Amino acid sequence: MSHGPNVRPTVDDSPDGTVLTSAPGDAPVDRATAAARRVVDALLRTDRANANLDRVAEELDSIANHLEQHAPAVAERLVDMWHGEGVTRHDPVTGPENAIAPPLVLTGRGEGSVDGVVTLTIPYQGPPGHVHGGVAAQLLDHTLGVANTWAGRNGPTAQLNVRYHRPTPLFVPLTVRGRMVSQEGSKINSIGEIRTADGTLCVSVAGLFIDKTVARPR
């Protein structure tokens, strides 16, 4: 079944393998954001003494000035950002326009779950060489929200219970998975997990969400 641009696909009307988030493309803003991600990562790795960081600071400030000079008022931008009912491009987990996002790309499965593979690097570090516990929570919270949408539900997080089974490694592919498991009235229960490529469970989550539409700026 085909979709108009403003319809969110669900497991009931869309095939296994449907991409549910907005994968980075070749648009100039996607390329600029991908480059900004590289800068964020490289700033944490570069030689503090010999990388001419005074000059880098000036150049980055100059680019920020340029971008801000071309920015509309924030209220206006928020309306534009939320225009339509399609997939967001700006969120801090999957957004190709958000340099904070790794970004994670999530795919819907015919049996009802959603999953994606992501490799995290130094900006996402908590314990030495491992993923920050809060970053894992953030990826899982967002994945459960996308899983709810794939199940035909939608609404904000009410409660998130995250369990850390073992340290989650940086620099290797991680599979992030989520699914809606039950609904009672407006309460949606969803679960998720992060595993390494060999199937080792690192983090699991159970979330309670409230099934309601959140108003978008107009």
Within residues 181-210, the interface with its own copies by CB under 8 A covers none
- 174 φ, ψ (degrees, to nearest 5): -115, 135
Q: Quick one: 13 or 59, whose CB is closer to its own copies?
A: 59
Task: Of 184, 176, 180, 183, give the one whose Cα is nearest residue 204.
Answer: 176
Question: How many residues sit in the footprint of its own copies (CB under 8 A)?
Answer: 85
**5 lies in the site for its own copies, by CB under 8 A:** no
**112 lies in the site for its own copies, by CB under 8 A:** no
Q: What binding mask, one character per residue, do residues 55-84 give for its own copies by CB under 8 A, x or -?
A: -xxxxxx-xx-xxx-xxx-x--xx--xx--
Could you tell me the smallest distance in angstroms from the CB atom of residue 55 to its own copies?
9
Pairwise CA distance, residues 161 & 63, whole Å: 40
**152 lies in the site for its own copies, by CB under 8 A:** no
Task: Of 119, 135, 136, give the one whose Cα is nearest residue 172.
Answer: 119
| Contact status, residue 154 vs residue 7, Cβ threshold 8 Å | no
Q: What binding mask, one character per residue, do residues 89-108 give for its own copies by CB under 8 A, x or -?
A: -xxxx---xxxx--------
Asked, as a colleague might, if the bond just before 173 is cis with ω within 30 of 0, I would say no
| Contact status, residue 114 vs residue 124, Cβ threshold 8 Å | no
- 186 φ, ψ (degrees, to nearest 5): -90, 0
Pick one of 5, 6, 17, 214: the residue that binds its own copies (CB under 8 A).
Answer: 214
Pick one of 7, 132, 181, 187: the residue that binds its own copies (CB under 8 A).
Answer: 132
Could you tell me the smallest distance in angstroms from the CB atom of residue 117 to its own copies?
18
> Look-up: residue for tokens 């900004």?
36
Could you tell me the smallest distance in angstroms from the CB atom of residue 94 to its own copies?
11
Could you tell me the smallest distance in angstroms from the CB atom of residue 38 to its own copies?
4
The CA-based angle 25-34-44, given to 5 degrees, is: 160
Site for its own copies in 22-51 (CB under 8 A): 27-29, 31-36, 38-48, 50-51
> Look-up: residue for tokens 């609404």?
155
Could you tell me the smallest distance in angstroms from the CB atom of residue 131 to its own copies?
10
> Look-up: residue for tokens 């009672």?
184
